[in-house]
Amino acid sequence: MVYGTAGVAYGQTKSDYVVNVAGVPGAVATANIKDNRVGWTAGAGIEGVIGGGWTAKLEYLYVDLGTETVTLSAVGPASVTFDRKFSDNIVRVGFNYRWGGGAY
């Protein structure tokens, strides 16, 4: 059986940022950001019968939790802004058992 899947994704992201301004003592900006994010996921898989009620599957999922824009400012006019994209690729291998055994 070949199948597709899609849905809502939820996850917690944690990021630590440090910016040092060269040549300016004490010009350091730090940020620790922990955030709960909602996004989407989509993927596909294949599952086949092994026998005796057992199946094996291989599945791929792409997860996208969006983009975060961060601006860090140090002493004076020194600052940096950047975007961080939260996404992941997941491959899963699994086995399933159908209670009661028997053929599919």
| Tokens 């070949």 found at | 2
Residue 36 predicted with pLDDT over 70? yes
Question: Average pLDDT in the 92-104 region?
Answer: 79
What pLDDT digit, counting tens, does each position of 51-82 carry? 888 999 999 999 999 998 877 776 666 677 88
Percent of residues, the chain, with pLDDT higher than 70:
83
Is residue 88 situated within a structural domain? yes
| pLDDT at residue 103 is higher than 70 | no
Q: Indicate whether 17 belongs to any domain.
A: yes
pLDDT at 52: 83
Q: Which residues contact 1 (CB under 8 A, 6 or more apart)?
A: 46, 47, 48
Asked whether residue 104 is assigned to any structural domain, the reply reads: no
Distance of CA 22 to the CA centre of its chain: 33
Angle at CA of residue 57, ends 64 and 9, nearest 5°? 20
Q: Which domain holds residue 56?
A: 2-44+52-97
pTM of the model: 0.71
Q: For the chain, what is the domain count?
A: 1
Supply the pLDDT for residue 77: 67
- The answer as to whether 65 is a domain residue is yes
**pLDDT number for residue 4:** 97
pLDDT tens digit sequence for 6-21: 999 999 988 887 777 6
103 within domain boundaries: no
